[in-house]
Every structure is written in structure tokens, then in C-alpha cells.
């Protein structure tokens, strides 16, 4: 597969719209690869949906990052903060489904030579931290008064300089 990674850079609103379309196509390629590997359509769809939600809604829409940027703690920010705050009834079961899709998608990208093995290892480890995310969901529901700020500081969406992305 021949992809120019810089085509996935997001600077303007027009870039975001264009990159969203590129990501949709790449996720469809991932879906087809899952079918070719022998997964049934339901499982391939589940994985693709998890990857799609993470990539298009979070990485592109919120973080405005190139999906090939090997940004540390990206899954952790998604699963330990953004998903919880932006889901009406966050559950570890639904989050786990999303994370299975994310891990499978990045395995696919690594297999295609689009991300490094080291980054894949980090993504897979972050996807596997289910007990941490379950604790984050529970502690979110336990917030009282101005406790949100302390909860958010434990797993912030912004880096130390306040930027949304790298």
C-alpha cells in the first residue's frame, strides 16, 4: 500500500475534512484486510468501528494529529479521559470493544510499514490497561464539587504547555 503520510497532516478545517475522508478510506482497507484474513463480517465491522471512532472522532477531530504521528499516551488520553467525558453512559465493555479495534488497526498499520513496532507496542499496552480505564470510569462517577479538575489532571488531554496535541 502506497500512502504519503504528510497527506494526513491537519492544519486547517479543509485539511480536517480531507483527512477524515482519507482515514475513512484507510479504515475500509483495514476492514477488507480483516475479511481477507478470515474474520467474519461482524467481527471485522466491530474492529473497524472501534478504530473509526478513535481515529476520526478523537485523533483527527479532537487532537488534530496526523494519524501516523507516534504521539505518546494517545490511547490513554482517549480511553482515560475523552471517551469517559464524551459518552453518555461510559462502560468498560464498550470501551474494550473500541480498544480492540484500535489495537488491531495499529497492528495493520505496523504490518504495512506505516508505524514503528515500538509505537505499536505502546498502543497495544495502552489498549490493554483496562483496569486503569475501569477505575477512571468509576472515579468519574464519584466526582463531587470541584473534583473534576483533580480527576482531569490525572489523565489530561493537553500536554504540559496546554496544547491539544504534540
With respect to residue 164, please indicate whether it lies within any of the assigned structural domains. Answer: no
Grid cell listed for 2: 502506497
**Domains in the chain: how many in total?**
1
With respect to residue 72, please indicate whether it lies within any of the assigned structural domains. Answer: yes
With respect to residue 160, please indicate whether it lies within any of the assigned structural domains. Answer: no
What is the distance between the alpha carbons of residues 9 and 138, in angstroms, rounded to a whole number?
Answer: 35
With respect to residue 122, please indicate whether it lies within any of the assigned structural domains. Answer: yes
With respect to residue 127, please indicate whether it lies within any of the assigned structural domains. Answer: yes
Predicted pLDDT of residue 1? 62
With respect to residue 166, please indicate whether it lies within any of the assigned structural domains. Answer: no
Classify residue 156 by its DSSP letter.
-
Predicted pLDDT of residue 159? 63
With respect to residue 62, please indicate whether it lies within any of the assigned structural domains. Answer: yes
With respect to residue 9, please indicate whether it lies within any of the assigned structural domains. Answer: yes
Q: With 0-12 CB in 10 A as exposed, 13-18 as middle and 19+ as buried, what is 108?
A: buried
Quote the domain boundaries for residue 121: 5-154
Predicted pLDDT of residue 4? 87
Classify residue 55 by its DSSP letter.
I
From first to last of its 166 residues, what are the pLDDT tens digits of the chain?
Answer: 678 888 899 988 898 999 999 999 999 999 999 999 999 999 999 999 999 999 999 999 999 999 999 988 999 999 999 999 999 999 999 999 999 999 999 999 999 999 999 999 999 999 999 999 999 999 999 999 999 999 999 999 876 433 444 4
Amino acid at each position: 500500500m502506497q500512502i504519503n503520510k504528510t497527506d494526513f497532516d491537519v492544519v486547517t478545517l479543509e485539511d480536517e475534512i480531507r483527512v477524515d475522508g482519507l482515514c475513512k478510506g484507510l479504515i475500509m482497507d483495514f476492514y477488507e484486510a480483516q475479511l481477507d484474513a478470515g474474520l467474519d463480517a461482524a467481527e471485522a465491522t466491530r474492529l473497524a468501528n472501534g478504530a473509526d471512532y478513535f481515529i476520526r472522532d478523537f485523533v483527527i477531530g479532537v487532537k488534530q494529529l496526523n494519524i501516523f504521528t507516534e504521539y505518546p499516551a494517545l490511547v490513554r488520553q482517549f480511553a482515560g479521559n475523552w471517551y469517559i467525558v464524551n459518552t453518555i453512559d461510559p462502560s468498560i465493555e464498550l470501551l474494550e470493544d473500541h480498544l480492540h479495534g484500535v489495537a488491531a488497526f495499529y497492528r495493520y498499520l505496523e504490518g504495512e510499514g506505516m508505524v514503528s513496532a515500538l509505537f505499536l507496542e505502546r498502543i497495544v499496552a495502552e489498549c490493554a490497561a483496562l483496569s486503569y480505564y475501569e477505575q477512571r470510569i468509576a472515579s468519574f462517577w464519584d466526582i463531587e464539587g470541584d473534583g473534576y479538575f483533580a480527576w482531569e489532571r490525572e489523565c489530561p488531554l493537553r500536554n504540559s504547555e496546554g496544547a491539544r496535541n504534540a
